[in-house]
Amino acid sequence: MDLLTIGAFARASRLSPKALRLYDELGLLRPAQVDPVSGYRFYAPAQLERARLVAWLRRLGMPLARIHMVCDAEPGQAAEDLRAYWAQIVAENVVRQDLAAFLADYLSGKATVMSDERTALGIRYAARSDRGLVRERNEDCAYAGPRLLAVADGLGSNGGGDRASAVAIDALKPLEDEAHPGDLLAALGRAIRQAAAELRTIVESEPSVEGLGTTLTALLWSGSQLALAHIGDSRAYVLRDGELFRLTKDHTYVQSLIDEGRISAEQAASHPDLLCTDGLSAVATADRIQSAVTGPLDPAQTVEQLVELANASGGQDNVACVVADIVAL
Ligand SMILES: [Mn+2]
């Protein structure tokens, strides 16, 4: 059987050569043959069916890890997986639709409150991190101060994880003391780039530390503006009218400004914020988290309760959470 070059196979499957190389590296679609001298990849025509399936699933927006699962499953199971994936997308879109409506209300509300007498706003906050019941170390880190709220979930061998999350949060702490007229996001971005540079230095100078990295979800507050930076699968939520909205999408890097206008005390009082690592969000349902955050407890009691919630579900992972209520001063 004649093998196809990667270019010919790419055209036939409507995947780019770059994508094909990535899928090879991931083990999703291995070439039939690789030239030992040139490294060129060759594909069998029979592989086109799998390649087209991958292309279709990509067009559907399915993540590669999940495509891998679907491609390797028995046909019945694959169909089941696909239906489950789509049901999840539909459910997430309902949540996003609600969030979009909420943000539209929120942003259009700012026009009407501009003429109001200025109300000073502050935040009441608490942060808590816990090792959980199983892990030997706590690689999560949480911080809350008058302007900055952040959680980080570190990873890395030989204590690298603890350090990675601490480095990320420490790099952000100076933001507490600086004035950031107008550009909170830029200030957050600079601090995050500095954290990344410090982590690179550790990786380069200490070979014993492997796989160093950290998630980071941080909110910077100026009294009238909130900026959010998010990397990885920790999460930020906002509670509004008793309902918990998730502001972050896992595994993505989102730079979004929640609100560019003034927040009225009335609006703000109904908007407690929650940040947490997957030690909580992976084990507790949104309902359980929502009822913990909605209750009459103050932020310190709430974070306590959230940690208990994570540990009551087995405490398999470290957990970090930050709760902040925006209040009129
Ligand atoms: Mn974790």
Return the pLDDT at 250.
67
CA of 323 to the centre of ligand 1 (A): 18
- Shared domain for 188 and 144, answered yes or no, is yes
Nearest to 12 by CA among 46, 35, 61: 46
Cα–Cα distances (Å) from 90 to 65, 95, 96, 256, in that order, read 19, 9, 10, 23
Neighbours of 185 (CB within 10 A): 17
Residue 115 within any structural domain of the chain: no
CA of 270 to the centre of ligand 1 (A): 29
Nearest to 121 by CA among 7, 273, 275: 273
Contacts with 285 (C-beta within 8 Å, 6 or more apart), sequence order? none
Residue 116 within any structural domain of the chain: no
Q: Find the range with the poorest average confidence among 22-31, 99-108, 257-266.
A: 257-266
- Shared domain for 20 and 92, answered yes or no, is no
Q: What are the two backbone dihedrals, phi and then psi, of residue 284, each rounded to the nearest 5 degrees?
A: -105, 135
CA of 154 to the centre of ligand 1 (A): 8
Residue 154 within any structural domain of the chain: yes
Q: Which domain holds residue 71?
A: 62-108
Neighbours of 89 (CB within 10 A): 12
- Shared domain for 51 and 70, answered yes or no, is no
The pLDDT of residue 102 is above 50: yes
Rounded mean pLDDT, 104-127: 62
Give the chain's domain count: 3
Return the pLDDT at 110.
52
- Shared domain for 34 and 74, answered yes or no, is no
Q: Find the range with the poorest average confidence among 132-146, 148-162, 257-271.
A: 257-271
- Shared domain for 40 and 71, answered yes or no, is no
Return the pLDDT at 327.
74
- Shared domain for 141 and 288, answered yes or no, is yes
Last residue of a domain, one of 108, 132, 167: 108
pLDDT digits (tens, 9 = 90+) for 192-241: 999 999 999 998 898 888 888 999 999 988 877 788 888 888 999 988 77
CA of 134 to the centre of ligand 1 (A): 12
Residue 23's domain is classified under what CATH number? 1.10.1660.10
pLDDT digits (tens, 9 = 90+) for 288-300: 898 888 888 889 9
Residue 114 within any structural domain of the chain: no
The pLDDT of residue 113 is above 70: no
d(CA 196, CA 220): 18
pLDDT digits (tens, 9 = 90+) for 250-270: 654 333 333 333 344 444 444
Residue 262 within any structural domain of the chain: yes
CA of 217 to the centre of ligand 1 (A): 13
What is the token pair recorded at 291?
């009822």
CA of 210 to the centre of ligand 1 (A): 17
CA of 153 to the centre of ligand 1 (A): 5
CA of 304 to the centre of ligand 1 (A): 18
CA of 279 to the centre of ligand 1 (A): 5
- Shared domain for 194 and 78, answered yes or no, is no
- Shared domain for 139 and 97, answered yes or no, is no
Rounded mean pLDDT, 163-181: 89
- Shared domain for 223 and 127, answered yes or no, is yes
- Shared domain for 184 and 322, answered yes or no, is yes
**Which residue's entry shows tokens 């503006």?**
225
Rounded mean pLDDT, 119-139: 88
Residue 318 within any structural domain of the chain: yes
Last residue of a domain, one of 77, 108, 139: 108
CA of 20 to the centre of ligand 1 (A): 31
Residue 274 within any structural domain of the chain: yes
CA of 282 to the centre of ligand 1 (A): 9
Please, are residues 195 and 125 in contact by the beta-carbon 8 Å criterion? no
Cα–Cα distances (Å) from 177 to 125, 173, 221, in that order, read 17, 8, 12
- Residue with the larger pLDDT of the pair 108 and 60: 60
Please, are residues 157 and 208 in contact by the beta-carbon 8 Å criterion? yes
Rounded mean pLDDT, 46-68: 91
- Shared domain for 52 and 157, answered yes or no, is no
Return the pLDDT at 244.
83
- Shared domain for 104 and 190, answered yes or no, is no
Return the pLDDT at 114.
36
Residue 10 within any structural domain of the chain: yes
CA of 84 to the centre of ligand 1 (A): 25
Rounded mean pLDDT, 106-131: 67
| Dihedral (CA of 231, 244, 276, 134) sign | negative
Which segments of the chain are extended strands (E)? Answer: 4-5, 33-34, 41-43, 121-130, 140-144, 148-155, 213-214, 216-221, 226-231, 235-240, 243-246, 254-259, 273-276, 319-328
CA of 234 to the centre of ligand 1 (A): 8
Please, are residues 320 and 141 in contact by the beta-carbon 8 Å criterion? yes
| pLDDT band of 165, cuts 50, 70, 90 | very high
Return the pLDDT at 45.
95
The pLDDT of residue 121 is above 80: no
CA of 102 to the centre of ligand 1 (A): 29
Please, are residues 227 and 266 in contact by the beta-carbon 8 Å criterion? no
**Which residue's entry shows tokens 């990667």?**
6
Return the pLDDT at 1.
67
